[in-house]
Structure 1
Amino acid sequence: MSGRLVETITPRFCETDGLQHINNTVIPVWCEATREPIFEIFNPGLKMESWNLIVAGFEVKLMAPSFYGAEVRVETHISRVGNASFEVTQDLYQGDRQFAQQVTQMVHYDYQANKSCPIPEAIRAKLAELTA
């Protein structure tokens, strides 16, 4: 991995409204789906019994409408790494037009201890490869 992760999504008919716009509630779902390679860095194999991430929050900026019938490109990068948390920025495009951006705060989390825990150096190195 280097720089940005890029994935393409084909909007489904059920994600649109009567004006052929993509419903705004779909953006966080697409963003979570395209963060899967980052989840793999923390939890290879995506084993739920050893899950170690939690979403602390996210913000979606809507810049323009998006439409049914045109593929969506999601570009993902790491925009900040802290001690136990990190930030993922995802830019969404149809063609060359950016229509949304989501910034998600993620926390490396120990569910048994019920608290955050420092991000290991090996994982930090992999996150650094995705820093824009």
Structure 2
Amino acid sequence: MFKHTVTPQFLDIDGMKHANNIAIANWFDQAKTPLYRLFTPDLDLNPEKWKLIIVKAEFDYVGEMFYGEDVEIRSFITRIGNSSFTVGQEAWQNGKLRTKGQTVIVHHDYLSDKTIPIPASIKKLLEEHMEASDKASELSN
């Protein structure tokens, strides 16, 4: 499991005084950076190097998050396929689960515009962070 802490900024807060949905999606994306580095260590977005494409992202907003208090984003792998994997994520504030989500990411060659298999060496690294999504909350509390 990867953990990433964000501090909500004023611009992340909407008129209802809680974290905006777009801010939360951005925090989840920031927290996936260590996973992106498994595929492209220097994070170079050159199509010759970058090999990932997000094909699905969904979020369940369990509770509100507020300005001025850190949010811990927990990221883990829930599924590894031949050419794709699923990342489970949770946002915690003040010891409470506030948002959970999952993202399906495909290993993709932009130059040929084709899906490509995930190399065995990277699959092994992904497996080190594999957890059942319903157990991740229990394990890290």
CA contact (8 A) 1:5 1:76 kept: yes
Q: CA RMSD in A?
A: 0.8
- Rounded to whole Å, the distance in 2 between the matches of 1:77 and 1:18 is 32
Preserved CA contact (<8 Å) 1:75 1:92: yes
Structure 1 match to 2:35: 38
For the 8 Å contact 1:28–1:102, the answer to whether it is kept is no
Partner of 2:13: 16
Deviation at 1:74, TM superposition (A): 0.3
TM-score (norm 2): 0.89
Q: Could you tell me how far 1:95 is from its partner in structure 2?
A: 1.5
List runs of 5+ in structure 1 lacking aligned partners. Answer: none
TM-score (norm 1): 0.95
Q: Secondary structure at the match of 2:21?
A: coil
Could you tell me how far apart the structure 2 residues matched to 1:102 and 1:87 are? 10
**Which residue matches 1:83?**
82
Give the deviation of 1:28 after TM superposition: 1.1
Does the residue aligned with 2:82 lie in a helix, a strand or coil? coil
Partners of 2:83 and 2:15 lie apart in 1 by 43
Note the C-alpha offset of 1:105: 0.3
Residues paired across the two proteins, number: 129
Once the two structures are superposed, residues 98-124 of structure 1 have per-residue CA deviations (whole angstroms, 9 ceiling, x without a partner) of 010120000000001101100000000
Q: What secondary structure, in the 3-state scheme, does the structure 2 residue paired with 1:70 have?
A: coil
Once residues 90 and 118 of structure 1 are traced to their aligned partners in structure 2, the CA distance between those partners, rounded to angstroms, is: 23
Counterpart residue number, 2:93: 94
Q: What's the counterpart of residue 25 of structure 1?
A: 22
| AA matched with 2:115 | S
